[in-house]
Amino acid sequence: MKTTLPVLTGIGSVTPYGPLAGLIPAESSGPLEPSAITAWTTLGLRRAFLVEPFRPASIVPGLKTRRLDRLSAWALVASSLALRDAGIDLGQMDRSRIAVFFATGFGCVELTEAFYQSAATYGWAETDPITFPETLSNAPASHVALFHDLRGPNVTVSSKSFAAESALLQAASLMRHGQADMAIVLAGDTLTQAVYEWYETAHLLSPACFGNGPAPSVGGFIPSEGVVAMVLEPDGRQAARPYAALGAGRWAAGGDARASVGQLLGGDLPDFTICAGNGAPCAPSPLTCLPRELVGEDSTIFPAQPVASGMGEAGALLHLLLALSRRPGPGQALLLGTSAHGGYAALRLELF
């Protein structure tokens, strides 16, 4: 194994599969069923892929999250688990050279709602000063920097349909250009009443959100939540146990995805294709047939998983984690995100 590409050496996650370091165990990595929402009053049964409540300090000793929203707390837990999984001793590293990249669709929406609640109750002149800074989208990434004392670049991005893919690509870019030695890439969102009810009012939800039947693969989506963190290092650390190396990639808001991804692949078709649908209904999209059309019949395709698609633009890291958890074996892979709104994201990976 000899490569100069950024290497994925650690994974941590807080998802509907629970808080985990590394891959999802085989016995629990199968399809999940959505759970009933109880965090707010719903008009009848409403379901989603939810993170079960847990005590962060029981996973990461010493972690204080009382004043944080779930997104920041999960980011702290997931980043800690990813570093643990990578076997990294931050004390031995130059922390000013470690970047944090966080991808999110809605950011700290829980505390944003709380801030609106305080404005509705007390008026704009009497809002809560503790809550306000935590409503900023970059709060989770800055808490990760603060907790781990990481003084390198700290960036929060959002990208219609492809936030997680763009974060991976941009973090790898920072490393490639010598602007960071290592990066922790995180992607995630939390599900709140306002977000869920927006989906419902917009008629975007799957029938499975309203009943007890199995999750169908088409016709709306099932919202999901969680944070996945991945550690990217340059190749060469002796103790590293790498999952994959990141190769070239690109993403675009439109244009000819077939031509562009085809150009990225050249004549070198991947052994595995990991589909990362964005959660919106995509059956009408001509891009749904893109993976098979691009990679031919010989590539093993990991279809988009509802639990990851439900996380929208932050879902790609969970798609990748789920595919890696299937232990596909060594080979070339393509992480391919497509969107019903047009656009694509494609990233070449070498799986170890």
Sign (positive or negative) of CA dihedral 171, 173, 174, 175: positive
CA gap 294, 152 in Å, rounded: 38
Instruction: Say if residues 295 and 270 touch (Cβ distance below 8 Å).
Output: yes
Sign (positive or negative) of CA dihedral 32, 36, 37, 38: negative
Q: Tell which one of 15, 79, 80, 170 touches other proteins (CB under 8 A).
A: 170
Decide whether 322 or 345 has the Cβ nearer to other proteins: 345
Q: Tell which one of 4, 28, 35, 96 touches other proteins (CB under 8 A).
A: 96
Instruction: Say if residues 123 and 179 touch (Cβ distance below 8 Å).
Output: no
Binding mask 38-77 vs other proteins (x if CB under 8 A, - otherwise)?
A: -----x----------------------------------
Q: For the chain, how many residues are written? A: 352
Residue 161 corresponds to which tokens in the numbers above? Answer: 């349909």
Taking the complex as a whole, how short is the minimal distance between the CB of residue 85 and other proteins, in angstroms?
22
Site for other proteins in 125-154 (CB under 8 A): 125-129, 132-139, 141-143, 145-146, 148-154
Decide whether 50 or 183 has the Cβ nearer to other proteins: 183
Binding mask 200-229 vs other proteins (x if CB under 8 A, - otherwise)?
A: xxx---------------------------
For the chain, the maximum distance between any two Cα atoms, rounded to a whole number of angstroms, is 63
H or E stretch covering 77: helix 70-86
12 near other proteins, judged by CB under 8 A: no
CA gap 214, 47 in Å, rounded: 11
Site for other proteins in 246-305 (CB under 8 A): 250-255
155 near other proteins, judged by CB under 8 A: yes
Q: Tell which one of 120, 238, 266, 298 touches other proteins (CB under 8 A).
A: 120
Decide whether 207 or 254 has the Cβ nearer to other proteins: 254
- How many residues in the shown chain lie near other proteins by CB under 8 A? 73
Residues 6+ positions from 154 with CB-CB distance below 8 Å: 99, 100, 138, 141, 142, 144, 145
Taking the complex as a whole, how short is the minimal distance between the CB of residue 213 and other proteins, in angstroms?
23
Query: Chain centroid to CA 285: how far?
Result: 23
Q: Tell which one of 3, 54, 193, 235 touches other proteins (CB under 8 A).
A: 193
Taking the complex as a whole, how short is the minimal distance between the CB of residue 72 and other proteins, in angstroms?
10
